[in-house]
Structure 1
Amino acid sequence: MADKSQDKLYSTTLQTIGAVSKLPVVRVDREAYLRKQFAGSPHLDVILERGPQAVFTTESLRQKANGIIKSSTAKTSLSSFAAGLPGNPAVMVAAGGADVVQYFGFAVNLAQQIAYLFGEDNLFDGGGQLSEAAQMRVIAYLGAMFGAAGAAALVSQTSKVAGANLGKKVAAQALTKTAWYPLVKKVGAVIGKQVTKKTVEKTITKAVPVVGGVLSGGLTYVTFRPMGHRLADTLVKNLNGDFDNELELNAEFAATLNVVVAPVENTAD
C-alpha cells in the first residue's frame, strides 16, 4: 500500500511539473536574468560563462538571494490574492487546481533565479521544454524548498557546479535504472503530497467571499518565503562542498530497498 501511495504521489508531481512547464511565467532565461542582476559589472562576461559564484563570494550571493526571495514572494502573494477571490462555485475545484499549478509555477520560477545565482545552467532547453534531467532538477529544487529528506543530496547529484554531468548519465541509462532513482521517487512523493495539500487549501479559500483572497495571499506569503530560503541555503552548502563526500548506492542494492536510507558520509582521508 505504501508503495502504491508513493507511486500515486510521484505521478501527481510529474503531472504538475508537466503542467507548470507550459506556463510562460515559469521560464527564466539564464543569460537575460544574469545580465539584469549584474548590469554594470566589469566581470559580466565571466559571470555569464562561468556563473556568479566564479566572481563573488558565496556569502555575498546568499545576501543577494534574500532580496530576490523577498521580491518574488511579494509578487506571488499578490497574484495569489487575485486568484483567491471567489468565482463560480461550480468551477471552484477546477480553479483551485489551476491556482496550485500557478503556485508551483512561481516556485519553479524562483528556484531558477536562485539556482542561476549560484552557478547552475539553464533549466529549459532552447524549445522551452523540460528534459528528463531537467525534471529531476525541478524535483530536487522543490524538494529542498519543502524540506524533504534527501532533497539536498539530490540537488548535489543534479548540480553542474558540483561536477555532476547529469545529462550524459540520464542519456546513457534510463532514469529508473540509476542508483538515485529511489531517492528521486521519494522526494517526488513528498512534493506530490504538497500539491494535494495546496489544492485543498486553494479550494477552501475560493469558497470564502473576499476574505478568501486575503487568506490565499497570506498562506502564500507564509509558506513561499521560507521555501526560497531553504533552497538558497542548500545551494550555499552545495557550493561549499558540504555534499562532496556522499556515496551513491549501488543500483542493484538500491532497487532492493523499500525505504531510501540517508547517504553515507565518507570519513576516509
Structure 2
Amino acid sequence: MADASQDKLYATTLQTVGAVSKLPIVRVDREAFLRKQFGDSPHLDVILAKGPQEVYSVESLRKKADSIIKSSATKTSAVSFASGLPANPAVMVAAGGADVAQYFGFAINLAQQIAYLFGEDELFETGELSEAAQVRIIAYLGAMFGAAGAAALVSQTSKVAGQNLGKKVAAQALTKTTWYPLVKKVGALVGRQVTKKTVEKTITKAVPVVGGIVSGGLTYVTFRPMGHRLADTLARNLNGEFEEELDLNPQFAASLDNSTMVEGTVIED
C-alpha cells in the first residue's frame, strides 16, 4: 500500500471512529454489562474488580462469548434491515453513510462486550474518546475484520498482556511510539473496510425491500465471524499466546503497494 493511500485510509478510520463513538448505541458500561452477565455469580465482586478471567476458565468464557455474539448479530441484522427500507434516491448516499455509521457503531459495541468478558478495562473511562481508547478500537476492529497485524496490536494494547497503553501514550505522542506504524497499518485496513461498507450500503438503499433483505442478511452473515475473530484473539491472549508483528522484507513490502493483505487474502485497489 502506497504511503499516500495508507494515510488517506487511516484518516478515514480516525474520522469514522471519532464520529461513531458519539452515537448512543456505541458505548457499553463495563460494570453494568458484567452485572448483567454474571449477576447470579457468588464471585461478582471479584469479577467487577479484576474481570471474569479471574474466576472462569478461558474455555467457558469463549463459549459465553458465542451467545453474546449471536444475540448482537441478530439485533444488528434487524436494525440494518429496518434502516434499509427507506430509499430516496436524492439522499441515497447520505443514508448509506448513516447506515455504515450504525454498522460500525454496533461493531464497536460488540467489541466492548467481548473485551470486558475477557478482562479488559473500560474503554470510555473519561467519557471522551482518548487516544489510548482510539488505538484499542482500531485494534479490535482490525481483529474483527481479520486484518494482518491486528492480533499483534490487540496484544500490545491488552491489559492481560501486561501493557498499560494509557501511560505509554501519556508519556509520549502516539506517533513517537515504536508500534505506531502497526497502528497506522491496521487502521488503514479498517479504513478500507469503511469504504467498502459505504459502497455496499449505498447500493442496497436503491431497492427498498430487496435492499433491506440483502442489507440485513449480509450484516448477520458478516457480523458473527467478526465477533468470533475478536473473541478468539482475546482468548489466545488469556492463554499467553501473544502475537508479535514481524517486519516485512522491504522488497516484498514494495510489491504490496497496490494491494492490501488481510489474513492471506489480497484485496486489490
Report the equivalent of 2:107.
Answer: 107
Deviation at 1:247, TM superposition (A): 7.6
Contact 1:180-1:248 within 8 A present in 2 as well: no
Correspondence 1:185 to 2:181? no
Deviation at 1:40, TM superposition (A): 1.4
Q: Residue type of the partner of 2:34?
A: L
Correspondence 1:197 to 2:196? yes
The 3 A distance-change label for structure 1 pair 233 and 4 is same
Report the equivalent of 1:87.
Answer: 87
Report the equivalent of 1:20.
Answer: 20
Report the equivalent of 1:40.
Answer: 40
Deviation at 1:44, TM superposition (A): 0.2
| 1:232-247 map, 5 Å | 232-243=231-242, 246=244
Give deviations 1:48-73, integer Å, cap 9, x for gaps.
00000000000000000000000000
Q: 1: CA distance between counterparts of 2:232 and 2:55?
A: 19
Q: Residue type of the partner of 1:131?
A: S
Report the equivalent of 1:143.
Answer: 142
Report the equivalent of 1:4.
Answer: 4
Deviation at 1:208, TM superposition (A): 1.0
Contact 1:10-1:185 within 8 A present in 2 as well: yes
Report the equivalent of 1:223.
Answer: 222
Contact 1:86-1:207 within 8 A present in 2 as well: no
Contact 1:179-1:248 within 8 A present in 2 as well: no
Q: Residue type of the partner of 1:94?
A: A
Contact 2:87-2:207 within 8 A present in 1 as well: no
Secondary structure in 2 matching 1:24: coil
Deviation at 1:11, TM superposition (A): 0.3
Report the equivalent of 2:29.
Answer: 29
CA RMSD across the alignment = 1.7
Give deviations 1:213-236, integer Å, cap 9, x for gaps.
000001101110000000000000
Q: 1: CA distance between counterparts of 2:64 and 2:207?
A: 37
Deviation at 1:164, TM superposition (A): 0.1
Report the equivalent of 1:166.
Answer: 165
Q: Residue type of the partner of 1:85?
A: L
Q: 2: CA distance between counterparts of 1:133 and 1:29?
A: 17
Deviation at 1:209, TM superposition (A): 2.6
* Structure 1 gap ranges (5+): 250-256, 260-269
Q: 2: CA distance between counterparts of 1:63 and 1:161?
A: 19
Q: 2: CA distance between counterparts of 1:156 and 1:247?
A: 10
Q: Tell me which stretches of 4 or more aligned residues in structure 1 moved more than 3 Å.
A: 246-249
Deviation at 1:161, TM superposition (A): 1.2
Residue identity over aligned pairs, in percent, reads: 81
Q: 2: CA distance between counterparts of 1:215 and 1:247?
A: 37
Q: TM-score, normalised by structure 2?
A: 0.90
Deviation at 1:248, TM superposition (A): 8.9
Q: 1: CA distance between counterparts of 2:126 and 2:36?
A: 20
Give the length in aligned residue pairs: 251
Q: 1: CA distance between counterparts of 2:79 and 2:40?
A: 31
Report the equivalent of 2:261.
Answer: none
Q: 2: CA distance between counterparts of 1:56 and 1:15?
A: 37
Deviation at 1:87, TM superposition (A): 2.5
Q: 1: CA distance between counterparts of 2:246 and 2:121?
A: 23
Q: 1: CA distance between counterparts of 2:13 and 2:126?
A: 24
Q: TM-score, normalised by structure 1?
A: 0.90
Q: 2: CA distance between counterparts of 1:228 and 1:217?
A: 16
Deviation at 1:125, TM superposition (A): 2.0
Q: Residue type of the partner of 2:171?
A: A
Contact 2:80-2:212 within 8 A present in 1 as well: yes
* Structure 2 gap ranges (5+): 248-252, 257-269
The 3 A distance-change label for structure 1 pair 153 and 233 is same
Q: Residue type of the partner of 2:226?
A: M
Q: 2: CA distance between counterparts of 1:43 and 1:5?
A: 49
